[in-house]
Amino acid sequence: MLTSLTTRPARAVALPAAVWAVLAGLAVLVAWDASGADLWVMRHVGGAAGFALRDSWFTASLIHQGGRLLSWAVMAFIVLANLLPGRLLPQLSRRERVQWAAITVACLLVVSLIKRVSLTSCPWDLAEFGGAAHYVSHWAFGLRDGGGGHCFPSGHASAAFAFLSGGWVLARAYPRAARAWLVGVVSLGVVYGVGQMLRGAHYPSHTMWTAWICWAVTVALMAIRPRRAAA
């Protein structure tokens, strides 16, 4: 799927395949949630005393704070690419530049809105890890777990996965850069997710759902094209 997206501009052909891939990803995520693997993984990372790497320099400063700063820097680059089209990525069309910025912001907003209404608390809030909450699946809508909530999905992972649209946008004019962009975004998303898991800030599924949400939003919005472009 990624090969077709990053080697030619035929999005009309690539998008249906992307949609099937998104649906397959959803099935895998639902299976993961049903397996109860989230709690199993966290019990191998933390214990009654909490999470040893919660405040370490590597996870808290480098991955968490550093990742946030990197996200702002990348967003600034995308904005500048819109403001200075003749100097940054000149082969991109105006529509592609606007799409890049708009879809990125849309991904960030969708993840943020879901977090705002979510009642799911973070792993470090659970009683078995030194907190006061008890485990409740994020599928248990309306059921509070006794913690602070607003932890699902992973907002920090969206600092990487929200930029997936760059792979689509760059594919026409800069296919090599598009492939590198996708590899970089996915790699950073995994690093951010693992870092937050080691801190006890998120379950593995929180990162997986963030990736899927950003992926689904990107595919859906890339499918929306003006009539003139479609013609």
pLDDT, tens digit, for every residue of 103-158?
A: 999 999 999 999 999 999 999 999 999 999 999 999 998 999 999 999 999 999 99
pTM of the model: 0.89
Q: What's residue 12's pLDDT? A: 41
Amino acid letter for position 96: E
Q: What's residue 226's pLDDT? A: 56
Residue 90 lies in a domain: yes
Residue 3 lies in a domain: no
Task: Judge contact between 196 and 64, C-beta under 8 A.
Answer: yes
Which residues lie closer than 8 Å to 162 by C-beta, 6 or more apart? 71, 104, 107, 108, 111, 214
Q: What's residue 175's pLDDT? A: 96
Structure-block tokens of residue 209? 């759902």
Residue numbers of the domain that contains 178:
13-225
Residue 105 lies in a domain: yes
Residue 17 lies in a domain: yes
Number of domains, the chain: 1
Interval 23-67: pLDDT, tens: 999 999 999 999 999 999 999 999 999 999 999 999 999 999 999
Residue 230 lies in a domain: no
Amino acid letter for position 114: I
Residue 22 lies in a domain: yes
Q: What's residue 225's pLDDT? A: 66
In this model, does residue 1 exceed pLDDT 60?
no
Q: What's residue 224's pLDDT? A: 82
Neighbouring CB atoms inside 10 A of 169's CB total 28
Task: Judge contact between 189 and 161, C-beta under 8 A.
Answer: yes
Residue 1 lies in a domain: no
Residue 81 lies in a domain: yes
